[in-house]
Amino acid sequence: MELDSWKKNELYREVDVGQKCLSIRWVCNLKSTPEGTIPNARLVARGFEEFIANIQKDSLTCAHEPLKLIIAIKAQRQWELHAMDIKTPFLQGQNMDREVYVVPPKEANSNGIWLLNKCVYGLSDASLYWYKKVKSVMLQNGGSMSKLDPTVFYWCDDTNSLVGIFASHVDDFIWSGGAQFECVVNKIRAAFKVGREESKAFKYCGIELTSINGDIYLNQDKYTENMTPIRVDPIRTQEKSSLLTEKEKHALRSKVGQLLWLAHQSLPDLLFDTCIIASNIGKCTVKDVLDVNKIIGKAKSSKITLKYQHLGDDNDRCLMIFSDAALGNLTDGGSQGGYVIFLVGKSGKFSPIWWNSKKIR
């Protein structure tokens, strides 16, 4: 099936031997589907064999702030929120503007080598070419790119009123709009090979979203349930001021990264405590490991759900910002500041848009 997919998407053309080639390999795993777990095989180029310094490798994914804003707009407009998954996205990316040759797998029974027309899995710029294709499709179908985030696109009618909004996080799309926006979505469906589509209740990039009576509820309960504390030798718990070993530092960095992602997405109350440890991770002690375990326990017990709702008349909304800072409250003598931004209606109802806590320069 993978070889058929390469042919169907016109990923390559066969050429004579003679050029320097990248090797290619099969990556096999098990894939969860609605029908159950099935074996899955993918052809992957060994991109690390390329030694080209000026390849642009960065790609774009939807950030935290615009995602929350999209959800708030959906709730305000009383639209339905949808998600769609794209099959084999990199194989549907934009055509390459450089030459890459690969040695075909023996299963292809090829007599030559392959000159790639599109980026494939394993190449360092594969996700960038995929984003270029997404951007091209959105703009060709009348979308405008957001100045806030280049992965967010929006559509307006002749009166400049918003009719739909679309965002991409690699192969995961999230969108919302009125009835007239459906024709645009159909064009986007036609441009890509779409897999799963969901609405009402679904998981998007690790966030659980549920629509009830027009309101959207956001949480990460399943993610926090699967988090486990760092195992600490009972003897080490008596050495709280001792510096960490490299193995312990690695475990601490991993958990701090998970907690920061969780705090930025859905649990703002964890952000300050986690940031304090993250800012001093090079000099962390056993006490910091124990503190991280306490934060994990707090995350598991908090069960916080964020609510995005209709706030009343569009002309009576405003952004309300709360901020604060404390002088010299960090272990290294530095200062920490934080803020939270809400979209607020005249009635006092609100939707949380963004929050942060970080060391002040």
Dist. CA 309–CA 200, nearest whole Å = 15
Q: Is the pLDDT of residue 333 over 90?
A: no
Domain boundary among 271, 302, 333: 302
- Nearest residue to 133 via CA among 178, 183, 105, 171: 171
Same domain, 204 and 334: no
200 and 349 both lie in a single domain: no
HSE on the CB side for 2, CA within 13 Å? 17
206 and 259 fall within a common domain? no
Q: What is the pLDDT of residue 57?
A: 67
Q: What's the pLDDT at 11?
A: 86
What pLDDT shows up at residue 34? 66
Q: Using pLDDT thresholds of 50, 70 and 90, give the confidence band for residue 17.
A: confident
d(CA 170, CA 167): 10
116 is in which domain, residue-wise? Answer: 2-218
Q: Residue 52 above 80 pLDDT?
A: no
Q: How far apart are CA 92 and CA 192, in angstroms?
A: 7
Residues 7 and 74 in one domain: yes
Backbone angles phi, psi at 69, to 5 degrees: -65, -40
Last residue of a domain, one of 175, 195, 218: 218
Number of domains the chain is built from = 3
Residue 158 to residue 13: CA distance in whole angstroms: 45
8 A C-beta contact, residue 69 and residue 151? no
What integer is the mean pLDDT of 196-208?
92
Q: What is the mean pLDDT of residues 322-342?
A: 90
pLDDT digits (tens, 9 = 90+) for 229-278: 999 888 888 888 899 889 999 999 999 999 999 999 999 999 999 988 88
Decide if pLDDT at 78 tops 90: yes
Reduced to 3 states (helix: H, G, I; strand: E, B; else coil), residue 79 is: coil
How many CB atoms are closer than 10 A to CB 234?
6
Tokens (6 digits) for 116: 């790639």
Q: Which long-range contacts (CB under 8 A, 24 or more apart) does 204-211 make?
A: 204/83, 204/169, 204/172, 204/174, 205/62, 205/67, 205/169, 205/172, 206/261, 206/265, 207/67, 207/265, 207/266, 209/71, 209/81, 209/83, 211/80, 211/81
Same-domain status, 93 and 230: no
Phi/psi class of residue 312: alpha, beta or left (left: φ > 0; alpha: ψ in -120 to 50)?
Answer: left
180-189 per-position pLDDT tens digit = 999 999 999 9
Q: Is the pLDDT of residue 51 over 80?
A: no
pLDDT at 162: 94
- Same-domain status, 181 and 79: yes
Identify whether residues 68 and 181 lie together within a single domain: yes
Question: pLDDT digits over 150-175, tens only?
Answer: 999 999 999 999 999 999 998 899 99
Q: Tell me, yes or no, whether 297 and 310 share the same domain.
A: no
What lies within 8 Å, CB to CB, of 48 at 6+ separation is none
What pLDDT sits at residue 59?
67
- pLDDT, position 82: 95
Polymer length of the chain: 361
Assign 115 to helix, strand or coil.
strand
**Predicted confidence (pLDDT) per residue in 305-314, tens digit:** 999 999 999 8
Cα-Cα end-to-end distance for the chain: 54
Same domain, 200 and 248: no
Q: Mean pLDDT across the stretch 318-324?
A: 95
Same domain, 49 and 175: yes
- Say yes or no: 201 and 261 in one domain: no
**188, 218, 248 — which closes off a domain?**
218
| pLDDT attached to residue 288 | 92
Pair 191, 242 in one domain:
no
Find, among 297, 282, 222, the residue nearest to 252 by Cα. Answer: 282
- The answer to whether 192 touches 137, Cβ cutoff 8 Å, is yes
Q: Picking from 51-60, 145-154, 259-268, which range would have the lowest pLDDT averaged per residue?
A: 51-60
CA 224, 230, 234, 236 torsion: positive or negative? Answer: negative
